[in-house]
């Protein structure tokens, strides 16, 4: 939940659209969604495309900074200390990485479908203070950078690990083997433009890894109370179909998907359904102690259902692996 790189400049631009911003088909259903992460309860209209199913905010909020309060950033407090691997370990990086993939480390599970080497050049977009970048460095990836135009200033973590405060268009093209966007794209209002920029930054065989929430079973159950709507911070809630259309429009093909939804999709949506915010002043801005209202059995059921949904490719979060189409 870093501060996501949505386009502040376009707040003043007209955003109304006669049809879907992805496939241009007419909108079908619309729904009103409340801000519930912090419990402002302000209401926002979302429209769903009748063809690709993508759900989109109807108007960009003018005062968006209200919904990224200072304590939003503190959720990503960075305590990372960079530890460089020994010369010996770096020399045998290839074998080390192969071995590491077998250990199922959380930070590596998303990289499994990508042919990656420790020496590959990696960029994370919208990385905030760079927590994930530091984690990747600590297991051996050294050629790694972050970019986030909403951080107050550039951050130098040492060992060449830098977080740049820049626009994507300011970066050198054709230089990255892997670009990571971890729950960032849904916060951006210019979907096609972002993906085109990523395409030009990638090397020919490079991979663009996009983790986003998707419209699936949890939306069907909870509708306006689905936690991943996250109004008004999420501008686009894609379907697998709308993501494939977007990929195709911007010169990509999706080669892999990885469904990684968790019990959060159930318990947090249940909270919203009961009009309970996720974080609140009353609760010292801590996440709601959901264990207090759900029994262990209920939580176990939520976890089991999430695993089942992921297997059926119907979980509400997914990682897409995009490559330049030939």
Helices 191-201, 240-249: axis angle to 10 degrees equals 60
Residue (19 or 69) nearer to Zn ion, CB: 19
Give the span between the Cα atoms of 122 and 129, in whole angstroms. Answer: 16
Nearer to Zn ion, 29 or 167 (CB): 29
Residues in the chain: 326
Q: Contact at 8 Å (CB) between 110 and 55?
A: no
Residue closer to Zn ion by CB (options 21, 183) is: 21
- Smallest separation, CB 25 to Zn ion (Å): 5
CA dihedral 39, 183, 21, 217 (to 10 degrees): -70
Do 38 and 69 contact (CB within 8 A), yes or no? yes
DSSP letters, 57-110, are: ESS--TTGGGGS-HHHHHTT-------PPPHHHHHTHHHHHHHHHTTT-HHHHT
Shortest reach from residue 143's CB to Zn ion, in Å? 37
SS3 318: strand
Q: How far is the CB of 23 from Zn ion (least distance, A)?
A: 3
Minimum distance from CB of 245 to Zn ion (Å)? 7
In whole angstroms, how large is the CA radius of gyration of the chain? 20
Residues in contact with Zn ion by CB under 5 A are 20, 22-23, 25, 49, 51-52, 54
Q: Smallest distance, Å, CB 64 to Zn ion?
A: 24
């Amino acid at each position: 939940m870093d501060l996501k790189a949505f386009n502040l400049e376009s707040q003043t631009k007209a955003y109304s659209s006669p049809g879907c911003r992805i496939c241009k088909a007419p909108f079908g259903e619309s729904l009103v969604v409340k801000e519930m992460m912090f419990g402002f309860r302000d209401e926002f209209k979302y429209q769903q495309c009748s063809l690709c199913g993508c759900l989109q905010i109807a108007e960009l909020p003018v005062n968006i900074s209200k919904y990224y309060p200072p304590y939003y950033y503190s959720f990503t407090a960075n305590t990372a200390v960079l530890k460089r691997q020994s010369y010996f370990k770096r020399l045998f990086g290839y074998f080390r990485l192969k071995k590491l993939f077998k250990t199922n480390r959380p930070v590596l599970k998303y990289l499994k479908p990508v042919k990656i080497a420790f020496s590959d050049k990696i960029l994370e977009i919208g990385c905030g203070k760079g927590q994930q970048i530091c984690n990747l460095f600590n297991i051996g990836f050294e050629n790694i950078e972050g970019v986030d135009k909403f951080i107050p200033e550039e951050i130098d973590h040492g060992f060449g690990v830098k977080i740049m405060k820049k626009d994507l268009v300011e970066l050198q093209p054709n230089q990255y083997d892997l670009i990571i966007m971890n729950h960032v794209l849904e916060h951006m209002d210019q979907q096609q433009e972002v993906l085109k920029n990523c395409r030009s930054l990638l090397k020919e065989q490079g991979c663009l890894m996009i983790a986003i929430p998707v419209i699936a079973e949890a939306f069907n159950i909870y509708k306006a109370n689905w936690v991943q709507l996250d109004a008004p911070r999420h501008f686009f809630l894609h379907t697998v179909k709308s993501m494939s259309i977007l990929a195709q429009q911007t010169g990509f093909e999706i080669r892999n998907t990885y469904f990684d939804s968790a019990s959060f999709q159930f318990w947090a949506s249940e909270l919203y359904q009961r009009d309970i915010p996720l974080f609140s002043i009353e609760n010292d801005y801590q996440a709601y102690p959901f264990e207090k209202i759900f029994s262990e059995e209920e939580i176990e059921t939520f976890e089991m259902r999430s695993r089942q949904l992921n297997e059926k490719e119907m979980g509400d979060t997914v990682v897409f692996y995009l490559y330049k189409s030939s």
